[in-house]
Structure 1
């Protein structure tokens, strides 16, 4: 059996001023694509086409999307006859001037490969799954953990299911349910209830005779398209069982809707700082959640940094890491100095100035670093107890290794303030205290403050439902 691998992987906030261009994507083509996967079944011939992956951000520039799309289509035409497509995507990509980018991409792919090729798609549970997309993909599946510690397992499951169906000669039945819920990931983490039990129940559903896969997409709340909603899809050999199981999971999700709450203790920035300074243990973590690059934030919103610098005397005697602001021009200036020099530089809000303007950072140059594949050159400026990280390009400081790589020992910090939502595993493991600061920005946790106007209403939590919506499964095959 011959199986092609292709995809574009990015999560895009409609509210970010950032636009994803070529530099944002890591691109593999041809046989190099296969290096991403260590689980490919040798019983199949795997054909790398193109895979482009970016950290989350704003919408993709249309010309960049069109180029990658064309390269995928050309690669598939040149690959010869194939039996299957492994479509490795995120599910929440937005493109300038377009709705349902993944739906557009798979529709164009179908025009090349035809209707008989089986398509399997491993996805993020924060994807937005349109009916158009679901009808074009026979074997979609998504993560069952948030944070996504099962990403590799999900990708392997998608490949295994595809090979199994190709070997059997059968085609799966699949049932799709649109659930009118739109919630941020920080309220739907599987570390806490009700998501923990809801996603934990999927393995039991999957074990039913006639079921191959059961998946719940909680959706991506910071896009603003008609496809933004939660989705349930169940696939398998029995149409009756997959339809009943999909409706059952949709009802469970709907019944739990009011129970979803923040995964960590929320608070204002000032409340977070007060808690951190009062903590008797270290390090204390503060999430600057409104500009989290890991969820689509622009990465250069200065709202938090303005406030930290304005009250820097509060941090006297403390070691505080602040990650981060990107500004190529500011880094160029800083690299004209030596470590230990007194410096003053304007930084941030070059891309996203809607919340607050550029900030003046005046202090001592603490460190200069280069070679980071994402951040490029990096400077650290010490302002009293604050260690402010300024990068050349966008970077999410979501792991302890991101700090230690530039000489900042996370264990030595009293407070770590970083642009993140829920804490990724290594930061979660070291945190002795934590506040999810409800800060403004492109991925604001206050969805009503953002002003969605293109989603299909009614939608929880924006609207009151006088009765339970129709959660009957639609059979797609």
Structure 2
């Protein structure tokens, strides 16, 4: 078996251009060398299809979603990837591990730019296989530059590593016996938030259910549907379909069918849970007997690109009599505010403290909110959130972090001495509930709150997206969905 040398590189982040947050170098986890190889399960525990492959680690950088990446940070990461790719010598292939919704200050279509730089470094003969989030964007420039491209098939993303391994396995397969495949690419002029396109419910459930069926057809290697990323204001932001294979009629025909199915379903997409204003959601939760009752504070969701410190929800919760009196218990996760956390640590557990929390990155409608209560618990040096403090006000326990952190798993709470299963209400900066919280919730609502990832796209003020585009142009005529064969 002929030995293969395959490089690994990528920059992965989802970036809201509507958030004032800026992503800096410390926000990225950067891996190189053995640490980069250890990232991938098929390298740690080699699969049969990996036989004869030398994996060449270049550089990978990944960050929690946030605001646009600072230009100099992106340039520095790109330059190191290029330098390492050139120094690595001839590569048969390159696994391009990206998200697909990275925004860089002053740039557009960052992933296409990165792919261009990588292509220039490795040369025209190296096969490049990209793995992406289904909330990424696939411009023609990106699709033309890489040779294979795929994305997750589940939202929430329970198939992240399965998708990455598929992209790597397809790359090895084509290097062994297939060569460069054809790609049928087409964009669909629909832009929807992820919370309207969960594969837990229709129509996304059935649309994505068709993808493995297409992949299994003779002449097809892979099929993928991208929802796109709704909180960036760039021309590339829209849904897309790519079917990859060797039979031009099959791949173009199937790409068109998937694209047309997506277009036909555009008005059927609905939020993954009942929605309401924050006040409506809180009132419904208080009157319900379902416990724990979860509320998504969706407009400032840090895992979609929110700043993580919009304080309007906190301010409103502090006004709720049932919470202030302790008649109802609640957990609020969370607000990033290093100054407030430092003040809580200075006071110590059990001490009374007054801080002004949130509203310092993204002031939103409330700005910093006065929070007076008792320091319930403290935790130093949490790997993601840094120093973390919990402040108790009546029945409300507010989590403050020194670094932006999502709260998706039960252990995130229990390490702070909090048990969400025993709380009446749990309010989390999140969109659709991740699996553990979804299982925990006796009932839940999606609050349409303000922030950099506001679910109401029409009030955000997009101006650079290509029009017409649904839902901005609800009455637009049917588009031409003829795929380009690349």
Fold match, TM over 0.5? yes
68, 80, 101: which is aligned to 1:71?
80
Equivalent position of 2:212 in the other structure: 203
Distance 2:484 2:321 in 1: 57
Query: 1:5 aligned to 2:8?
Result: yes
Corresponding residue SS for 1:140: strand
More displaced 10-residue stretch of structure 1: 305-314 or 437-446: 305-314
Equivalent position of 1:409 in the other structure: 419
Corresponding residue SS for 2:42: coil
**Which sections of structure 2, spanning at least 5 residues, go unmatched?**
44-49
Q: Say how many residue pairs are matched.
A: 476
Q: CA offset at residue 466 of structure 1?
A: 4.9
More displaced 10-residue stretch of structure 1: 391-400 or 216-225: 391-400
* Per-residue CA distance 1:375-432 (angstroms, 9 max, x = gap): 1111100000000111111111122221112111111111100100000000000100
Distance 1:471 1:20 in 2: 35
Q: CA offset at residue 318 of structure 1?
A: 1.9
Equivalent position of 1:443 in the other structure: 453
Q: CA offset at residue 356 of structure 1?
A: 2.2
Distance 2:66 2:51 in 1: 36
Corresponding residue SS for 1:379: strand
Report if the CA contact (8 A) 1:312-1:385 is conserved.
no
Corresponding residue SS for 1:82: coil
Distance 2:347 2:474 in 1: 58
Q: CA offset at residue 178 of structure 1?
A: 1.0
Query: 1:17 aligned to 2:20?
Result: yes
CA RMSD of aligned residues (A): 1.0
What does 1:81-100 align with in structure 2 at a 5 Å threshold?
A: 81-100=90-109
Report if the CA contact (8 A) 2:305-2:453 is conserved.
yes
Equivalent position of 2:387 in the other structure: 377
What does 1:358-397 align with in structure 2 at a 5 Å threshold?
A: 358-397=368-407
TM-score under structure 2 normalisation? 0.96
Equivalent position of 1:112 in the other structure: 121
What does 1:76-475 align with in structure 2 at a 5 Å threshold?
A: 76-314=85-323, 316-475=326-485
TM-score under structure 1 normalisation? 0.98
Corresponding residue SS for 1:305: helix
Corresponding residue SS for 1:247: helix
* Per-residue CA distance 1:18-64 (angstroms, 9 max, x = gap): 10111211110122111111114132100111010001000001111
Report if the CA contact (8 A) 1:312-1:386 is conserved.
no
Distance 1:247 1:429 in 2: 37
Q: CA offset at residue 465 of structure 1?
A: 4.3
Distance 2:208 2:407 in 1: 27
Distance 2:196 2:290 in 1: 26
Report if the CA contact (8 A) 1:458-1:465 is conserved.
no
Q: CA offset at residue 311 of structure 1?
A: 2.3
Change (3 A) 1:44 1:382: same
Corresponding residue SS for 1:276: helix
Change (3 A) 1:467 1:63: same
Distance 1:311 1:275 in 2: 13
**Which sections of structure 1, spanning at least 5 residues, go unmatched?**
none
